[in-house]
């Protein structure tokens, strides 16, 4: 198996590493999540004083809030190598065993979407997390034999958008369990300003704040919007981004003042007009607007719920009065 270990310190001169350079390397550079950062300083500092590995950590919350970035920060603070793996790619116990057997002392294994690994794979994780061993079965039926392989102490960092989908035995084996919260406008503005320095295209403070206001409280979206606004600015020969080019770019991208895009609008208008505000099942709604169920559930609905524009009930999705008011739709006409 190819060794995918990565050093968290990246070369900013490499064009292919631009996405990675947006990631801060230390807790001091990491914007937001202040309570979590303060706790991590203690956990990391104590582990280093004892010359131990950091306890296994579970990070959960909506996508784009910085779970992967935080894993890089932890690896840098612990002066450890990090290996990134996607949960769905681990299909069989042997896949995980192969990954675990390549870990070195103190290494960090980051499993994104850990809720999507099969239950049979979880069983390999239990002894690995608790006792740093993996049990390997060879042969079949009467010839089957099990032997144990010792692992060096390591830290598992799991990330998930659906903590409820993790089995209790797996969830209980994480010593540190933390939720990442949505970001404030001020925090997102800082992130946009930092991103503008990385990409060497300055942005005025009011323009950075405008992007922050339309970023759905999510750093990943803030960075993505900045890069697209930067495209518009560079195309029109702007050497920096001011409020005018920013607002014109956002208008062209059809991102409204509270961060709703075309899919959000299609979702809500279909719910309000075609289905009379609901309740309607997500599968029916996804089919009506031509979107994937998982994409709606994990990417779009968390923000619509945060805004108070929809309710999720046992009978399906329902539009709220706030949604009708935002789109100036008469609640009683449908």
- 161 has catalytic annotation: yes
CB-CB contact of 212 with 188 (8 Å): yes
Which CATH fold would you assign to the domain 185-252?
Helicase, Ruva Protein; domain 3 (1.10.8)
Residue 267 has a pLDDT of 96
Look up residue 167 and give its DSSP letter: -
The pLDDT of residue 58 is 97
Q: What is the pLDDT of residue 246?
A: 96
Active-site pick, 81, 112, 209, 317: 112
Annotation says 294 is catalytic: no
User: pLDDT tens-digit profile of 138-154?
Assistant: 656 666 677 778 899 99
Contact call for residues 127 and 133 (beta carbons, < 8 A)? yes
Name the active-site residue from 67, 83, 171, 214.
Answer: 67
5-179, what's its fold? Answer: Rossmann fold (3.40.50)
Which tens digit of pLDDT belongs to each residue from 170-191?
999 999 999 999 999 999 999 9
Give the residue from 329, 328, 221, 327 showing the smallest Cα distance to 265.
Answer: 327
Sign for the CA dihedral angle at 228, 267, 304, 66 comes to negative
The whole-number pLDDT of residue 147 equals 72
Placement of tokens 């039926």 in the chain: 141
pLDDT tops 60 at residue 7? no
User: Given 23, 53, 68, 214, which residue is catalytic?
Assistant: 68
* pLDDT the model gives residue 60: 95
pLDDT, tens digit, 9 for 90 and up, residues 68-88: 999 999 999 999 999 999 999
The burial of 260, by beta-carbon neighbours within 10 Å (0-12 exposed, 13-18 middle, 19 or more buried), is given as: buried
Report how far residue 79's alpha carbon sits from residue 82's, in angstroms, rounded to the nearest whole number: 10
Average of pLDDT values for 92-102?
Answer: 89
**Per-residue pLDDT for 137 more than 70?**
no
- For the entire predicted model, the pTM comes to 0.84
pLDDT at 14 over 70: no
Q: What is the mean pLDDT of residues 113-139?
A: 87
212 contact partners, CB below 8 Å, separation of at least 6: 185, 186, 188, 189, 191, 192, 222
pLDDT of amino acid 21: 65
Hunting for tokens 């899919």 — which residue is that? 263
Question: Hey, how many other C-beta atoms are within 10 angstroms of the C-beta on 311?
Answer: 15
For residue 31, is pLDDT > 70? yes
Query: Which overall architecture, per CATH, does domain 262-326 show?
Result: Orthogonal Bundle (1.10)
Q: Identify whether 220 is a catalytic site residue.
A: yes
Higher pLDDT, 332 or 180: 180
* Residue 93 pLDDT: 86
Q: Provide the residue ranges of all domains of the chain, joining segments of one domain with +.
A: 5-179, 185-252, 262-326
Q: Distances from the Cα of 149 to the Cαs of 143, 170, 292, 301, in angstroms?
A: 19, 20, 42, 44
Q: What does the pLDDT average to over 253-282?
A: 94
What proportion of the chain, given as a percentage, has pLDDT over 90? 76
ω into 279 cis (within 30 of 0): yes
Strand 57-60 versus strand 5-6 pairing type: unpaired
Structure confidence by residue, pLDDT tens digits, 210-254? 999 999 999 999 999 999 999 999 999 998 999 999 999 999 999
Distance CA 187, CA 267 (A): 28
Q: What is the DSSP string of 69-91?
A: HHHHHHHHHTT--EEEEEGGG--
């Amino acid at each position: 198996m190819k060794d995918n270990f990565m050093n968290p310190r990246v070369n900013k001169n490499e064009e292919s590493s631009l996405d990675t350079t947006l990631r801060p390397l230390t807790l001091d550079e990491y914007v937001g999540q202040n309570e979590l950062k303060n706790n991590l300083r203690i956990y990391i500092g104590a582990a280093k004083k004892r010359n131990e590995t950091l306890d296994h950590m579970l990070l959960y919350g909506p996508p784009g809030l910085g779970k992967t970035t935080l894993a890089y920060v932890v690896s840098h603070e612990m002066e450890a190598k990090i290996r990134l793996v996607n949960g769905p790619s681990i299909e069989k116990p042997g896949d995980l065993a192969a990954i675990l057997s390549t870990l070195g002392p103190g290494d960090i294994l980051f499993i994104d979407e850990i809720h999507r690994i099969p239950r049979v794979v979880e069983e390999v994780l239990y002894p690995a997390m608790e006792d740093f061993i993996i049990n390997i079965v060879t042969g079949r039926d009467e010839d089957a034999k099990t032997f144990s392989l010792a692992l060096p102490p390591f830290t598992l960092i799991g990330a998930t958008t659906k903590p409820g989908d993790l089995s209790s035995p797996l969830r209980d084996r994480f010593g540190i369990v933390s939720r990442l919260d949505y970001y404030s406008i001020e925090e997102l503005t800082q992130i946009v300003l930092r991103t503008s320095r990385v990409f060497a295209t300055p942005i005025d403070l009011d323009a950075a704040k405008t992007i922050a206001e339309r970023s759905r409280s999510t750093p990943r979206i803030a960075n993505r919007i900045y890069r697209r606004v930067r495209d518009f600015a560079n195309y029109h020969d702007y050497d920096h981004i001011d409020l005018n080019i920013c607002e014109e770019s956002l208008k062209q991208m059809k991102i409204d003042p509270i961060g709703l895009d075309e899919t959000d609008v299609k979702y809500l208008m279909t719910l309000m007009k075609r289905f009379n505000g609901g309740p309607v099942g997500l599968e029916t709604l996804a089919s009506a607007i031509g979107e994937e169920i998982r994409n709606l559930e994990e990417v779009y609905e968390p923000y619509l719920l945060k805004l108070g524009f929809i309710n999720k009930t046992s009978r399906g999705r329902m539009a709220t009065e706030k949604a009708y008011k935002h789109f100036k739709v008469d609640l009683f006409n449908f």
